[in-house]
């Protein structure tokens, strides 16, 4: 456990950031799951908001930017395949 005043504060801040990052990550994962389960017309409208959520996670450093690109690519590919079918 931290002993100095500054390290105690840093531990509090880290815990707060960790909870916030977990919330954003889980919310985005749920949105991706809902997008995958949605019908083609719904999915097209939800795609831009989910894409934005993924970009924000990458910007905040919750996920790596390459992972964000891979996620968006897979979702776009899935959406385009559903539209074609």
Q: What range does the domain containing 51 cover?
A: 5-84
What is the four-CA torsion angle of 68, 74, 79, 82, rounded to 10 degrees? -170
The alpha carbon of residue 80 and the mean position of all alpha carbons in its chain are separated, in whole angstroms, by 21
Local confidence band at 70 (pLDDT 50, 70, 90 cut-offs): very high
Q: What CATH number should be reported for the domain holding residue 38?
A: 1.20.58.110
Is pLDDT of 1 > 80? no
Distance, in Å, from the CA atom of 60 to the CA atom of 46, rounded to the nearest integer, reads: 21
Report, in angstroms and rounded to the nearest whole number, the Rg of the chain calculated over CA atoms: 17
pLDDT given for residue 48 in this prediction:
95
Question: How many domains does one find in the chain?
Answer: 1
* pTM for the model: 0.85
Mean pLDDT, to the nearest integer, of 40-48?
91
pLDDT tens, residue by residue, 22-38: 999 999 999 999 999 99
pLDDT given for residue 49 in this prediction:
96
């Amino acid at each position: 456990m931290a002993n100095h005043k500054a390290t105690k504060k840093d531990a509090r801040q880290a815990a707060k950031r960790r909870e916030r990052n977990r919330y954003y990550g889980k919310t985005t994962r749920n949105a991706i799951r809902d997008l995958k389960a949605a019908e083609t017309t719904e999915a097209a409208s939800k795609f831009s908001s989910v894409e934005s959520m993924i970009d924000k996670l990458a910007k905040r450093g919750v996920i790596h930017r390459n992972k964000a690109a891979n996620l968006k690519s897979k979702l776009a590919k899935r959406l385009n395949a559903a539209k074609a079918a």
